[in-house]
Structure formats: structure tokens, C-alpha cells
A and B are shown apart, each in its own frame.
Chain A
């Protein structure tokens, strides 16, 4: 019984972090799907989402507003708005002017953008860890009083539920809406979409904005879950989410979801059964293995050379 409960606990922890990875991974995969490039400033967008949430939560607390759902909702909306604008700005500043150039050039300009954003937050908010109040407390506990207990916190449940809602909304949007259909068309054949009168620049900007909005949601959730943030908060999470996107098959949205969950569970199991210090070794080991043996990822399609 102990073993089962212990395993279950790791699984819950893994799925929690994994679903947040998946939210960030979608931004990488959508942008890659449409322009074939990695947005290296995406981790910073997520970090800024976490900072904005914290600022709003602290601000509302000093104003004396205490009704929790409202505080969280306002924080979420502000984070989404600011991060989406950042995502839009990254595309405008770091990608659009150099699109059509050699692939390395947008890559470098995106890394530049990422360094700039990191250091901007360093200057504006200081480089130390800032505590993130854990607003959602309590949870459900299973197991014998004297033995090992599996617990799932309300925070974890919130992460699952919010992620599920976001994923469902995104899937509906992509498969059913007019703009979603245009996103798919542009990612399959940008030039042909342009030849149908579609302003492909706007569709590309839209994918940056959607990805950034989801990253902001993840920023709020993981900020609260981990309980502290710093300007490098986005760096590792960005790398992990990028790994998740590659694992699932970069360019594929269901792939990003799956990759995030697998990565989260793999990390939690490593922490639970081996040692927390091997966590990153396992996730990046996984990245190397997938690149060696299945470079298109679990759900990705082999790339067709376009003439």
C-alpha cells in the first residue's frame, strides 16, 4: 500500500508540473509550426507573466481587496495582457525585421531579446528571490494516519483544472474558429495563404500572442506553486518546456501537451525514486535520446523538404 501511495504522490506531482510545462510548450510549438523557428524569448515571457501576477496580487493586498477568486482573476488577466503584448513585441522587434534572412539571425535576435528582458526585470525588480504568497492552501489527503499519506493540494487541483480549460479552449479555437483555421493553413503553406489574400504577418503575430498568453497563465500558476520567483525563473522552465515540445514533436500542439506531461512525470519519478538532483539530467537526457532516435518527436511528422 505504501508503495502505491508513494507512486501516486509522485505521479500527481509530476502531472502538476507537467501540465504547466505543457502550457509553456504550446508557445514554442505554435511559433515553430508557423515560421519554423524557436522563440528563445518565450521563457522570459513566462517569467514576466509570473512577475506581473505577483505585482498585481501584492498591489490588491495592500489595497485591502481580499476576495481570493477575484484577486486571482485580476492577476491572471493583467498577466495575460502584459505577456501577450510582450509576445507581440518580440515578434515585431526580434523576428519580423529579420524574417527571410539566414536562420541564425532571428535566433540570435531572439536570444538578445531574452537577455534584455531578463536584465530589465533584474533592474526593475531586483535579482533576489521574491516570495510568492501561496494563496490557495489546503488539500485532500489519502492513506493511513500513521503510514505514508498521499496528498493532493487544492493548488495542484487548480493547476490541473486551469490547464485543462486552457487546452480545451485552444483546441476548440484551432479546430473550429476562422482564425484557428487560418493558423493551420498558414503553418502548412504560408505563401499559398498569402495568395488567398490573408495577411500572414497578422496570423504570425497572433500565434506569438496566443503562446504568450498561455505562458502567462503558467507563470501565475507555477509562481504560486513554487512559492518564489526570480529573474531567472523563466530560463530553466523555458528550456524544460522547449524539451517538452521537442519530445512531443515540435510543431504539433497535442505533441506539446503530451511532451509536457511525460517530462513532468519523468522528473517527479526521478526526484521520488532517485534524487532531486538527477531531475534535470533525466529531462535533458530524454531530449538527447529523442533527438537521436526519433528526431521528429512522439507525435511529430517528418519534415518534408519544401522546394
Chain B
């Protein structure tokens, strides 16, 4: 589904990614874990074309998207739930969802919205409330719902558990699992390595701009180095 080949990405003159290769197959959850500043968000944003890779290739469903504009990439079947959720706080829940479905026709939007409301009944209750007045967990649900409204083939989640209560985190991770069961491809970036690896089919460990390890989620969980570095011993 998505292939990253030897990606180098620069911020100004500083190179943040030093040749990263990642492969994500259709219908799997791939988790990317790593410490603060390892370049996880940079890697995700390179997929989205903002910033673009300075060398290497990004291939999505057989098409080279390395040098496409962000808006083109995001219209081609990739959706992102960004770090910090970034819901449109002045817009209502429903308006936020419609921004996700901006390029879909009315019928499709109605169907997808019903589907999102089934996943997150809370959003249905709050459909005409301004997004900025909701709790962090509800905003995270909205950010996921908004991404689903674009009818993506692959969904990228950047730190979906950040700042949320454990019970909400479990809920969110359950939803991510059920998305995969329905055939969605998921690329998940998390600092919460334990839960991310438990959920993942495969995982990558990113350290200072390089992939250090890759394996199945279960194997990485059992790996001593990973345990020491990311799972608190």
C-alpha cells in the first residue's frame, strides 16, 4: 500500500531523516515507535508532502507521490489524524466532519457520517456543538471521524493517545483495531509503545532519524532492547 524508500528529509539545512525505509501492506496496522525527537512526526509529514523528502521515494498504491503537493496527496486516499488533533475549534462537530468530506458528494457524506456516528455515538450527541468546547477525548474522536470522512484507503495517526485518560485511550485503540478489521490500513505513531505494539501487526523503531529495528508487533514487545528503551524495563 505504502512504500518509503530510503527517505531523507531536511528542515532547512538540518537533516531529520537519514535514509528511512518503511513498508506498509494493505489491511495491516503498522506502529512506529521512538523517543521524542527521533523524527516520527517528520516521517509522517513526509508522507503527506509537508515537508517533501529531499531524496528517496514515497510510493502509495503504485504511484510515486514524493513530489506531489500536500493537497493532492491528501485527496489520493491518505488521511491523517495529526498530533494535537487540530480540530477546527470554531466549527461545529458536523461542520468539522463536512470539512473532512469536502470532496465527497452529499450522499456519500451522509453515509460516512452515519458510520462515524455509529463508531462514536458521543459525536452524534454533540453534532451541533463547537469543537473547541469539547473534551480532549471527544476532540480526538472528532479528529478520527474527520479523517474517516475523506474515505481514505490508509489512515495515519500521530500520537492519538497524547494527553488522554487511560479509559479513553483504550476506547480509541479499540476503534483503531476495529478499523483494521474492516479492512483499513493504519499507520500509527505512538510514544505509548506498549499499547501501540500490542495492537500492531508490525512495528518499526525509529532512533534519531534511522530505523533501528523492525519486526512483528509481538516480537518487538518481547525484544529486550525495546523493553529497556521504550517499555520501562
Contact = CB atoms under 8 A, between A and B. Distances in A.
Interface string B38-72: 00000000001010000000000000000000111
B35 interface: no
Given A192-B86, A195-B82, A197-B150, A181 B99 contact: yes
B47 to A, nearest CB: 11
Interface string A168-198: 0000000000100110110011011111111
B103 interface: yes
B48 A195 contact: yes
Contacts of A197: 71-72, 74-75, 102-103, 150
A194 B70 contact: yes
Contacts of A193: 99
B70 A195 contact: yes
Interface centre among B72, B75, B88, B95 (most CB of A within 10 A): B88
Interface in B75-92: 75, 79-80, 82, 86, 88-91
B34 interface: no
A207 interface: no
What is the interface residue range for chain A against chain B? 10 to 19
A181 B74 contact: no
A188 B98 contact: no
Interface string B85-112: 0101111000100111011000000000
Q: Name the prevailing secondary structure of the A interface residues.
A: helix
Nearest to B70: A194
Contacts of B79: 196
B99 A196 contact: yes
Contact of A194 (B71, B91, B103, B150): B71
Contact of B82 (A182, A184, A192, A200): A192
A196 B98 contact: no
Interface in B169-195: none
Nearest to A175: B95
A196 B142 CA distance: 14
A158 B89 CA distance: 38
B8 interface: no
Interface string B126-157: 00000000000000000000100010000000
Nearest to A199: B71
A194 B99 contact: no
A196 B102 contact: yes
Nearest to B95: A181
Contact of B102 (A182, A189, A191, A192): A182
A200 B90 CA distance: 18
30 contacts: A181-B91, A181-B95, A181-B99, A182-B99, A184-B88, A184-B91, A185-B88, A185-B99, A188-B88, A188-B90, A188-B91, A191-B50, A192-B86, A192-B88, A193-B99, A194-B50, A194-B70, A194-B74, A195-B48, A195-B50, A195-B70, A195-B82, A196-B99, A196-B146, A196-B150, A197-B72, A197-B102, A198-B71, A198-B99, A199-B71
The 9 A-B residue pairs with the shortest CB-CB distance in the complex, in nearest-first order = A197-B74, A197-B75, A192-B86, A199-B71, A188-B88, A185-B88, A185-B99, A194-B70, A197-B71
Interface of A: 178, 181-182, 184-185, 188-189, 191-200
Interface of B: 48, 50, 70-72, 74-75, 79-80, 82, 86, 88-91, 95, 98-100, 102-103, 146, 150
